[in-house]
Chain A
Amino acid sequence: MDRLFELQGEFWVAAVETLYMVALTLLIGGLVGLALGTVLYTTRPGSLLSNRVVYNIVNVIINFFRPIPFIIFIAAVQPLSRLVIGTGIGNDALVFALSIAASFAIARIVEQNLLTVSPGVIEAARSMGAGPLRILRTVVLPEALGPLILGYTFVLVAIVDMTAVAGLIGGGGLGNFAQVYGYRQFEPVITWAAVLLIVIFVQGVQFLGNWLARKVLRR
């Protein structure tokens, strides 16, 4: 316990680092994933702007990258990370790798949730003379908003999980804190303190997501 008090400063820094990585990843991965998922949805055969070529390209890319274990993925994109953000290590490098991985995961979730919108509703909008982009913006996305929020909540929890390996490439965060000061120094209290904070954080996110989705779905 005393050790935890000594490390209070490091603990809170680690917490803020986790928040930073999660928030930034969610922002970048969330937007790119939304875009990719929307492209998948609109270009799939029979959809609003069906385009076999675009659909197949995006589909294959996602299928290729998605199964790669994140721990290996980090190493694999390191050269790209150096090229794009100028560094292959640290929190920002982790955010870089994680954003890419999250984009692909989110793309699938977005695609699947948009597909739950009933074709009849889209047909109704078409029958009123609305064009494909208007339908996407004013019908498909709002109709799928509830499930989308739940999907994003799910991804957010997974992102928190994945930030734990940041230490691997010299990053920080609560996962690294637990490893360095808890596990390696035989201090279970330290490990559990980090675990507890992560659990609280995840629970909070889940609660917020459920609440928002319920509000949107009015159920």
Chain B
Amino acid sequence: MGTAPVLTAPFAFTTFHVAEENTMALVALRNVTKTYPASERGGSPVVAIDDVSLEVEAGDVFGIIGYSGAGKSTLVRLVNALEPATSGSIEVDGREITTMPERELRGIRLGIGMIFQQFNLFNSKTVWANIAYPLTVAGASKAEIAARVAELLEFVGLADKAKNYPDQLSGGQKQRVGIARALATSPRLLLADEATSALDPETTQEVLELLKRVNREFGVTIIVITHEMDVIQSIATKVAVMDGGRVIEHGAVFDVFSNPQNPSSRRFVSTVVKGIPSPAELAVLRERHEGRIVTISFRDGDASQAAVFVALATAGVEFELVYGGINDIQGRAFGHLTLAIRGTDAAIDTVLAEISSRVDVTEVA
């Protein structure tokens, strides 16, 4: 499907000016708050976004994860100004959008693609017309539209479905139409709100692969919202964890996955990271093994496993590997190993102190 060059070709509909590489975040939120007023029937106002500051750099696949109601959807809807912020500043490609008049915002939105959990395709329009729609809004000529829609259909592998209506497509096909439609105006930024949550695992992987290609081949920055950690694991380069309208942790995916700082992030991470025993599993381990039970966490590049094992072996204690797993996140490995260590308390304390200077050590039971 080598259509890469054309997608960036003559369509200059985006209102972004060219940002200088690496000097500026594509999206920058500073102290952003969004409060929904109390409903008319009473109740109190809802603080959906609570003092969030965040930067998304050009080229990132930025994941936002959090439980239902955490404010994820609200956050992305602030980025393309579908919803006005209550306070704070939001810059998109260097332009402050919180003070922009609605007319100008439409231009901004034209330069930001968005895809949705429920696809939100126009059921009364064919696949072709769905993809053509944003181009019509952008004022493209008939010939431009025809050429652009054809190459997008080719890119998402649906050239044979041009004349079909959305209700004749599978979920995965619908989302591919959604992606083609969102890319029509060659945006630099794509917002994906639970884009795979309505799809089965296999189709989810297909759609995620497509999004990866969008990011790699066309350099489109993507903000991915999800409540599934494995979505983050498979495509995100950075991640922010949201809870109660706040970003409670953010950073490179590898860092957050291998060493989550916050209990809520830890819970998310434990759904996909191998090697951390659950409390129930710990109880079983406790029953089966004598001695002190310790989990050590390695990160690729931090310390050599060998040094840790040598220290353990020469400390005059006995140890057994009772639980563990090694994870690979975007080519970097980290692991959690749980050991049962037997010996005098003094000897064990000494060796734990020694290895904890090299790796993370937690005595778990």
A residues whose Cβ falls under 8 Å from a Cβ of B: 118, 120-121, 123-131, 134, 138-139, 142-143, 145, 216, 218
Q: Which residue of B lies closest to A130 (CB)?
A: B137
Measured CA separation A145–B124 after assembly (Å): 8
Interface centre among A124, A131, A218 (most CB of B within 10 A): A124
Measured CA separation A131–B101 after assembly (Å): 13
Does B303 sit at the interface, judged by CB under 8 A?
no
Interface centre among A121, A126, A127 (most CB of B within 10 A): A127
Contact partners of B167 in chain A: CB under 8 A: 218
Using A120-B118, A123-B82, A218-B167 as known contacts, say yes or no to A129 and B137 having CB atoms under 8 A apart: yes
Contact partners of A128 in chain B: CB under 8 A: 109-110, 114, 133-134, 137, 181, 185
Q: Which residue of B lies closest to A129 (CB)?
A: B110
Asked whether A130 lies within 8 Å of B106 as measured between CB atoms, the reply is yes
Contact partners of A120 in chain B: CB under 8 A: 116, 118, 120
Does B218 sit at the interface, judged by CB under 8 A?
no
Contact partners of B103 in chain A: CB under 8 A: 131
Asked whether A142 lies within 8 Å of B125 as measured between CB atoms, the reply is yes
Measured CA separation A78–B325 after assembly (Å): 86
Contact partners of A216 in chain B: CB under 8 A: 124
Q: Which residue of B lies closest to A216 (CB)?
A: B124
Min distance, Cβ B220 to any Cβ of chain A, angstroms = 15
Interface centre among B113, B123, B167 (most CB of A within 10 A): B123
6 contacts between A and B (CB under 8 A): A121-B121, A121-B122, A128-B181, A129-B106, A130-B137, A143-B123
Measured CA separation A131–B107 after assembly (Å): 10
Contact partners of A126 in chain B: CB under 8 A: 82, 109
* CB-CB nearest 6 A-B residue pairs: A129-B110, A124-B120, A128-B134, A127-B114, A129-B109, A120-B120
Known A123-B120, A130-B133, A142-B125; 10 more pairs at CB < 8 Å: A121-B122, A124-B116, A124-B121, A125-B133, A128-B109, A128-B114, A128-B181, A131-B103, A134-B137, A138-B133
Min distance, Cβ A32 to any Cβ of chain B, angstroms = 24
Using A123-B82, A128-B134, A218-B165 as known contacts, say yes or no to A143 and B109 having CB atoms under 8 A apart: no
- A-contacting residues, B93-132, CB 8 Å: 103, 106-110, 112-114, 116, 118, 120-125
Measured CA separation A123–B76 after assembly (Å): 13
Does B138 sit at the interface, judged by CB under 8 A?
yes
Contact partners of B186 in chain A: CB under 8 A: none
Contact partners of B191 in chain A: CB under 8 A: 127
Min distance, Cβ A118 to any Cβ of chain B, angstroms = 7
Q: Which residue of A lies closest to B136 (CB)?
A: A138
Contact partners of A145 in chain B: CB under 8 A: 124
Contact partners of B108 in chain A: CB under 8 A: 129
Count residues of B near A (Cβ-Cβ below 8 Å): 29
Prevailing SS type, chain B contact patch: mixed
Min distance, Cβ B84 to any Cβ of chain A, angstroms = 13
B120's contact among A121, A130, A131, A218, by CB below 8 Å, is which?
A121
Does B80 sit at the interface, judged by CB under 8 A?
yes
Contact partners of B165 in chain A: CB under 8 A: 218
Q: Which residue of A lies closest to B40 (CB)?
A: A45
Measured CA separation A91–B122 after assembly (Å): 43
Measured CA separation A139–B136 after assembly (Å): 13
Measured CA separation A139–B133 after assembly (Å): 10
Measured CA separation A136–B185 after assembly (Å): 21
Measured CA separation A121–B119 after assembly (Å): 8
Contact partners of B120 in chain A: CB under 8 A: 118, 120-121, 123-124
Using A120-B120, A143-B123 as known contacts, say yes or no to A127 and B133 having CB atoms under 8 A apart: no
Interface centre among B108, B113, B122, B165 (most CB of A within 10 A): B122
Measured CA separation A124–B119 after assembly (Å): 9
Min distance, Cβ A42 to any Cβ of chain B, angstroms = 15
Measured CA separation A33–B107 after assembly (Å): 34
Contact partners of B123 in chain A: CB under 8 A: 121, 143
Contact partners of A125 in chain B: CB under 8 A: 122, 133
Measured CA separation A66–B133 after assembly (Å): 39
Min distance, Cβ B216 to any Cβ of chain A, angstroms = 24
Contact partners of B110 in chain A: CB under 8 A: 128-129
Measured CA separation A124–B106 after assembly (Å): 13
Min distance, Cβ A131 to any Cβ of chain B, angstroms = 6
Asked whether B122 lies within 8 Å of A127 as measured between CB atoms, the reply is no
Min distance, Cβ A145 to any Cβ of chain B, angstroms = 6
Contact partners of A218 in chain B: CB under 8 A: 165, 167
Asked whether B122 lies within 8 Å of A139 as measured between CB atoms, the reply is yes
Measured CA separation A216–B138 after assembly (Å): 27
Contact partners of B134 in chain A: CB under 8 A: 128-129
Asked whether A127 lies within 8 Å of B80 as measured between CB atoms, the reply is yes
Asked whether A131 lies within 8 Å of B106 as measured between CB atoms, the reply is yes
B124's contact among A124, A127, A129, A143, by CB below 8 Å, is which?
A143
Measured CA separation A121–B112 after assembly (Å): 16
Q: Which residue of B lies closest to A135 (CB)?
A: B137
